[in-house]
Structure 1
Amino acid sequence: MTDSNLYLTMKGTNEGIIVYLDDQCAFSTLLNELKEKVQSDTVNDRTDITIHCQHRYLKDWQLDEIRKVVEEDSSLKIKSIESNVLSHQEALTWFDETTVKTFIKTIRSGQILRVDGDALIIGDVNPGATVIATGNVFVLGQLKGIAHAGSDEQANSVVVASYMNPNQIRIANKISRAPDYEVEGSEREFAYINEITGQIELDDIHNLQKIRPNLTDIVERGL
């Protein structure tokens, strides 16, 4: 079902009613039409609606005005107010979380490197050193220390290393420790959480795309 006025469109979906607001007209004009619409709406069982502002950025006082018009002048209740626009802070946060941070150095024993988003270390992570990232950890060198990927509970994160022989690997809340006895490392491997076993496992880097098909292409992300 679609119900259109000059500056707003109401659509019925499986998830409820979505009201699309025009993003070109004056806010006062939009507010007046929204008020007229909700007051004339006689369908009382449609209590939850989503307001979508499209490409219009609304300040807090404007959001408050919309809530006031809808919830005080009708039986409707706003479930959420959405838009296609990011605030400046939201844009900075999104950029920070989706940009690969590159470090051309060796992470030495006792050092802790913390990264928001993906971490790319071009160098070694020595025994006793720690790399913690909210996203993935890529080591173009020897991983002999501790790597913690998905530190904010992103269980689909991975740890990739040119040479894998870590003291410990953590992904989200899972931990995989090195054995007590001496073992040789292996080249070009990655660690991930197996969705079936729920445990951290290692695999050849050639299988990375097959096991994590939703992982954004490394070249496109700037590695």
Structure 2
Amino acid sequence: MVQKKQNVTIKGTKEGLIFQLDDSCSYESLVDELIEKLSSKHYQQAEGPDVLVKVDTGYRYLQDHQQEELENIITNGRNLAVEHFESRVLSKEESEKLRQESQTVTLMRIIRSGQVLKVVGDVLLIGDVNPGGTLMATGNIYVLGALRGIAHAGFEGDSNAVISASVLAPSQLRIADEIMHFEKEKDHEKMMSSVFLDELQSFQIGRVQQLVQSHPELSKNEKQLLA
């Protein structure tokens, strides 16, 4: 006898319950089976705090009214509370944000004193950051020139971001929320250098070649190399 495929799978975890909803069946079939499974006395209203539920919809896109309907089915008359819906489907806005964050923006200019330049993603600056100038990126910062002002990589919280410059002589470096100040009389220019945070969130400065070992994920699009 062939076992009927389940459209709704309920799993218990330490944090609560996970409802896995099949993404290949019709929405109507999904609703019918969800109602049927939740009709069990096991899920009826009981004393005690609500049990948190994570709803995994896979590659199914739910419209707002469908998500609201499923949440009502799960919670109505039961001590269940939907914590969040989890989907592998990206909205246009999310997809565009990911595209921007994964891109490398190339600029040819000099950032002068008083100027602040912000970039979404990685930035390759062919030019200088003068004293008093600021270059910021949500990703990594690469300066093919002299970095004498302020550089802030991962300014939205990416502590894995790196800063690299042909001439490293900044007044201040920032990665995520960490800050490192420089005093000109004590710090000398460093050539072809890179900066990143180690596991203790401390700044590490060294030759740019060290990124091969510390950040191998920086290598992109190697498949495009011609043999």
1:217 corresponds to? 219
Alpha carbons of 1:67 and 1:43: their partners in 2 closer, same or farther (altered >3 Å)? Answer: closer
Offset, 1:121: 1.0
C-alpha contact (below 8 Å) 2:146/2:169 kept by paired residues: yes
Query: Does structure 2 conserve the Cα–Cα contact (< 8 Å) formed by 1:39 and 1:74?
Result: no
Looking at structure 2, the residues matched to 74 and 184 of structure 1 have their Cα atoms a distance apart, in angstroms, of 67
The whole-number CA distance in structure 1 between the counterparts of 2:41 and 2:111 is 63
CA distance in 2, matches of 1:15, 1:32: 26
Deviation of residue 217 (structure 1)?
Answer: 1.9
1:203 corresponds to which letter in structure 2? G
Structure 1 position 73, deviation (Å): 4.3
Count of matched residue pairs:
217
Distance 2:130 2:220 in 1: 24
1:205 corresponds to: 208
Distance (whole Å) between structure 1 residues aligned to residue 25 and residue 140 of structure 2: 43
Q: 1:162 aligns with which of 158, 161, 166?
A: 166
Q: Please, what TM-score do these two structures have when normalized by structure 1?
A: 0.83
- The answer (yes or no) to whether the contact 1:191–1:203 under 8 Å persists in 2 is yes
Residue identity in the other structure for 1:92: E
Q: Distance in 1 between matches of 2:135 and 2:167?
A: 15
CA RMSD of aligned residues (A): 2.7
Aligned to 1:30: 30
State the alpha-carbon separation in 2 of the partners of residues 95 and 73 from structure 1.
Answer: 43
- Structure 1 residue 98 corresponds to structure 2 residue 102: yes
Give % identity: 36
Query: If the length of structure 2 is used for normalisation, what is the TM-score?
Result: 0.82
Distance 1:79 1:113, change over 3 A: same
Structure 1 residues 42 and 5: CA distance shift in structure 2, 3 A: farther
The CA distance in 2 between the partners of 1:23 and 1:41, in whole Å, is 27
SS of residue paired to 1:187: strand
Q: Is the 8 A contact 1:146 1:167 kept in 2?
A: yes
Match in the other structure for 1:10 = 10
User: AA paired with 1:90?
Assistant: E
Aligned to 1:107: 111
Alignment of 1:13-162 (within 5 A): 13=13, 16-40=16-40, 42=42, 47-162=51-166
Summarize the Cα distance change of 1:182–1:14 in structure 2 as closer, same or farther, 3 Å threshold: closer
Which 5+ residue runs of structure 1 have no aligned equivalent? none
Q: Secondary structure at the match of 1:176?
A: strand
